[in-house]
Amino acid sequence: MDESHAPDHQNEGKTMKNLGYYNGVIDQIDAMRIPMNDRSNYFGDGIYEVCLVANGVIFALEDHLNRFYDNLDKVQIHFTYSKQALKALLQDMVERVEGTSLSLYWQVSRGTAKRSHVFPDPSVNANLMIMVDQLNLPRKDMLYKLITLPDIRFLRCDIKSLNLLPNVLASQAAKEAGCDEAVLHRNGIVSECAHSNLFYLKDQVLYTAPLNHLILPGITRARLIACAKRLGIAVVEAPFTLEELKQADEVIVTSTTKQCVRAFELDKEAIALRDPVTFTALQDAFFHEFEEETKQ
Ligand code: PMP
């Protein structure tokens, strides 16, 4: 695929509830088909991103694009779109969908080729898929219940790869336990959640796991850390234990679609909710930034 794959214009002028794109073909998501031999299909051999869109503005798009291109380099996927060209296409897709808050998902796979573990011939182009859909903005007063689970993922969790089976299993286990997220740990050392990063507050200091191969460098994580620093809240990025989490004053879960959520239960036991002032200051700072950047 190359940059000449501009979308066809069968839906030009219409506002849609959702829209899919695959290598230049564009239609409602349910009507879209992708080839069986797309390597995302049988290997999950690709990289993805999710952004939150409000009032037509793709929040933190530069940050997501930077992580996306870094990830493509990490797994040696050659994608010919420039950052500017991809940005323009994503914006174009968003503009075709009605609604004030949307999710924007995109993925690039290593192309379409007969199933073989090794990379296909370099002449095989990467495949680009995009989905834009309706999404309700998260409520600031949400309260999360958490369960803890062993982190059984591979040792490159810094890569936003399409292979999400352990995350899927952990999310389902959380749901079956009546919880909203699963806190993943390796021998009692907390890494992150099944689809979010994790923070805690203790004595007005904000703690979170360090950036390394064990966690995804969340865009929301980085934004919250920046908000804390602006507010004069000390930030410690260092490994921490489940025990420390249980003793925390506040526990905070962050992700693009849920933004900045407070937790109040861990493995059915009451936790946190002991420093509403610092939590609210942080959350307000995050939402203020979001609202300013997504103003019409
Ligand atoms: N960790 C994992 C495993 C994730 O899947 C996600 C994204 N849902 C996050 C952290 C949060 O990252 P971001 O803030 O960039 O959405």
Residue 127 in tokens:
């495949």
pLDDT value of position 265: 99
CA distance 77 to 74: 8
Contact 199, 220 (CB under 8 A): no
Residue 112, judged by CB atoms within 10 A of its CB (0-12, 13-18, 19+), counts as buried
Give me ligand 1 centre to Cα 171, in Å: 13
Give me ligand 1 centre to Cα 159, in Å: 11
pLDDT value of position 196: 98
**pTM more than 0.85:** yes
3-state secondary structure the chain: CCCCCCCCCCCCCCCECCEEEECCEEECHHHCCCCCCEHHHHHCCEEEEEEEEECCEECCHHHHHHHHHHHHHHCCCCCCCCHHHHHHHHHHHHHCECCCEEEEEEEEECCECCCCCCCCCCCCCCEEEEEEEECCCCCCCCEEEEEEEECCCCCCCCCCECCCHHHHHHHHHHHHCCCCEEEEEECCEEEEECCCEEEEEECCEEEECCCCCCCCCCHHHHHHHHHHHHHCCCEEECCCEHHHHHCCCEEEEEECCCEEEEEEEECCEECCCCCHHHHHHHHHHHHHHHHHHCCC
Nearest CA, atom 4, ligand 1: 195
Q: Which of 51, 151, 168, 196 to mutate to test the pocket of ligand 1 (most atoms within 8 A of CB)?
A: 196
Q: Which of 195, 254, 286 to mutate to test the pocket of ligand 1 (most atoms within 8 A of CB)?
A: 195
The verdict on whether 295 is a catalytic residue reads no
pLDDT value of position 15: 75
Q: What is the pLDDT along the chain (296 residues), one digit of tens a residue?
A: 444 444 544 445 557 999 999 999 999 999 999 999 999 999 999 999 999 999 999 999 999 999 999 999 999 999 999 999 999 999 999 999 999 999 999 999 999 999 999 999 999 999 999 999 999 999 999 999 999 999 999 999 999 999 999 999 999 999 999 999 999 999 999 999 999 999 999 999 999 999 999 999 999 999 999 999 999 999 999 999 999 999 999 999 999 999 999 999 999 999 999 999 999 999 999 999 999 999 98
pLDDT value of position 1: 40
